[in-house]
Amino acid sequence: MKILPKVLWWLAGILLLAGVLSGGFRFVFSRAANLCLSCMGLQ
């Protein structure tokens, strides 16, 4: 395995962990659990 994929795997893990610990999933939820009028082309 070359060095870049290894670094990216570590980065993915760190970002996910940081995202989960900081509550980043709440941001995702707050957007995805509401009807998005823009996505439908209505706003």
Partner 1 sequence: MKKRNFIQFLVAVWANSYFGFLIRGGIYTGKLKNLCFPGLNCYSCPLALMACPLGILQHVMATLRALPVVAVKGALYLLGSLLFYGLLLGRFVCGWICPFGFLQEMLYRIPLPKIGLPRRARLLKWGLFLGLVLALPFIFKGETGYGEVWFCRTFCPAGTLEAGLPNLVLEPQLRSLIGLLFYWKVLLLAGILLGSILYLRLFCKLFCPLGLIYGFFNRLGLFRLRWQEKNCIFCGLCEKMCPMELEIPKELNSLECIRCLNCLNACPTKSIELKGSFRLETRLDRLPFSVAERRHATRRESLRRNSSG
**3 part of the interface to partner 1, by CB under 8 A:** no
- Least CB distance to partner 1 at residue 13 (A): 8
- Dihedral Cα 28, 33, 39, 43, nearest 10 deg: -110
Min CB(27)–partner 1 separation in Å: 3
Angle subtended by helix axes 24-32 and 3-21, to nearest 10:
70
Which of these, 38, 43, 14, 36, lies nearest to 28 by C-alpha position? 36
CB of 14 to partner 1, least distance (A): 8
Site residues (vs partner 1, CB under 8 A): 1-2, 4-5, 8-9, 11-20, 22-29, 31-43
